[in-house]
Amino acid sequence: MCTLLLLVSGWACKKETAPKTPYEISLQVWTDFKSSAHNNYTYNTYKLITRDNHFGSEKTKITVENGIVTKRDFGFYKADATTSSGISDVVTREWHEDATTLGSHTIEGAELITMDDIYAKAKIWLAMDANQNIIYFETKNGGIISNAGYQPKDCTGDCMVAISISSVAKL
């Protein structure tokens, strides 16, 4: 019927499109941001740590220039309850990598990956079996991924596979 209408009246049928998923919407926001930043940006990851009665967080800043990771800055922040204002972050360990030392710290710090790599990983994580996994996806960075990952439902330890991004900014 659409073909007949097209031939007779010149009208075309409108193709029905499925609603976009939160991932697809976020990916478009990211693509637009990356384009406006000319693929030059930073992002900050964080990971809460609770080990041996120690509480703190690992924070890593990744710098991407022309689509390539060029710098990585790491800090471990220990919660300090001894300050007069209460709990605050105190840096107990930090390091910085540039083009000549990139990847020299192999135990601590976020992976040397771009936001494009993170979106590729998130796509895989979101496809995990929801009957066997708890799946996470949030976009609190202006529509860009803030949390993504999964955790097996039968997990009793630290087996979450995820990334948490606190901010993304243009260089």
**Which token pair is 84?**
């007069």
More confident residue, 159 or 170: 170
Model confidence band, residue 50 (pLDDT cutoffs 50, 70, 90)? low
Average pLDDT of span 128-152: 96
How far is Cα 96 from Cα 75, in angstroms, rounded to an integer?
9
**Which token pair is 111?**
């992976």
Average pLDDT of span 63-92: 79
Per-residue pLDDT at 11: 47
Average pLDDT of span 44-70: 85
Per-residue pLDDT at 71: 98
Query: Per-residue pLDDT for 2 more than 50?
Result: no
Give bridge partners of residue 152 from the DSSP assignment. 133
Per-residue pLDDT at 18: 72
Per-residue pLDDT at 9: 43
How far is Cα 3 from Cα 144, in angstroms, rounded to an integer?
41
- Percent of the chain predicted with pLDDT > 90: 65
Cβ neighbour number for residue 121 with a 10 Å cutoff? 18
Per-residue pLDDT at 83: 55
Per-residue pLDDT at 10: 47
Return the domain boundaries, the chain: 22-166
How far is Cα 48 from Cα 21, in angstroms, rounded to an integer?
29
Q: Which residues, at least 6 apart from 116, have a Cβ–Cβ distance to it below 8 Å?
A: 34, 67
**Between β-strands 68-83 and 133-138, what pairing exists: parallel, antiparallel or unpaired?**
unpaired
Per-residue pLDDT at 47: 85
How far is Cα 54 from Cα 145, in angstroms, rounded to an integer?
28
Query: Per-residue pLDDT for 52 more than 80?
Result: no
Model confidence band, residue 92 (pLDDT cutoffs 50, 70, 90)? confident
**Which token pair is 136?**
């996470």
Per-residue pLDDT at 14: 56
Mean pLDDT for all residues in the chain: 86
Q: What is the pTM for the complete model shown?
A: 0.82
Q: Residue 49, CB half-sphere, CA atoms under 13 Å: how many?
A: 17
Q: Are the CB atoms for 92 and 85 separated by under 8 Å?
A: no
Q: Are the CB atoms for 112 and 69 separated by under 8 Å?
A: yes
Q: Are the CB atoms for 39 and 66 separated by under 8 Å?
A: yes
